[in-house]
Amino acid sequence: MNLCVLASGSKGNSTYITGNDTNILIDAGINAKTISTRLESINVNPGTIDAVIISHEHGDHTDGVKVFCKKYNIPVYVTYQTFRSIRHDWSDLNIVNFEHGKSFKIKSLTIKPFYVSHDAYSTSAFVVKNGDKSIGIATDLGDFSQLLIQNFKSCTALVLESNYEDELLMRSTYPWNIKKRIRGQRGHLSNKRSFELIKKISEFNVLQNVLLAHISQENNSEEHILKHLKSFPNKHVKILLTAQDNISEIIDI
């Protein structure tokens, strides 16, 4: 399996995963041209994408779906609740509904979706499996649960939200109600909680790579994340930052 985050942040998110003969995207929140360009930059023909799987309805995860999937005739996998709340007209797309807790296959990949707490109708995190290798994806969540730990404990790699540094958020010019939403159970995951989660999952001695995602450009910084990284006890886990305007390193699972 290979993993590459094409874009991550409040302006758009998309993650590429491949295994054997199968290519998928988790979310398509950047425009179709940028998705295509970034796929081509890693030698992937956009027309070979087998499916786009949607985590939730927010625009930074869905804005590129219609144009990209219509152009290449790609099916869109989404919960019924999320599909009903999409602001775009997807009536001419090939929609496939999935349910939390029920795994489904796309060619050689098995995808297990499950619920995470976020301010959307039906937010999904995913475990993508190919043989004995698994990748966990959770880019928008207010906090983590025992369910998430159980699902991610056997993952070799994670794409995990590390949205804000609490100190920076509280000093920001954001209105108090926005700060409260971000810090709430249905908001976003802080650096502190993200690293606490990584530590818990790393104790199962399977995890090797983490791509930190959805890093706020206003309420976070590489400097603050590196402080958490320096004190992280498990040096066998490789932790990298993703970005809004650049693709991540390609992780070979």
| CATH value at residue 67 | 3.60.15.10
Domain range for 73 is 2-252
Q: How high is the pLDDT of residue 71?
A: 97
pLDDT tens per residue, the chain (253 residues)?
999 999 999 999 999 999 999 999 999 999 999 999 999 999 999 999 999 999 988 889 999 999 999 999 999 999 999 999 998 899 999 999 999 999 999 999 999 999 998 888 889 999 999 999 999 999 999 889 999 999 999 999 999 999 999 999 999 999 999 998 889 778 899 999 999 999 999 999 999 999 999 999 999 999 999 999 998 888 899 999 999 999 999 999 9
Q: Which pLDDT score is estimated for 173?
A: 92
How confident is the model at residue 179, as a pLDDT?
94
Eight-state DSSP code of residue 245 = S
Total structural domains in the chain? 1
* Token pair of 178 as six digits: 């926005």
pLDDT at residue 121, rounded to an integer: 80
The pLDDT of residue 120 is 81
Tell me the whole-structure pTM to 2 decimals.
0.96
What does the buried/exposed string (b/e) look like for 37-48 if buried means 16 or more CB atoms within 10 Å of the residue's CB? ebbeeeebebee
Cβ neighbours of residue 79 under 8 Å, at least 6 residues apart?
A: 54, 97, 98, 99, 100, 113, 122, 124
What pLDDT does 187 receive? Answer: 81
- 8 A C-beta contact, residue 15 and residue 137: yes
Residue 182: Cβ within 10 Å count: 22
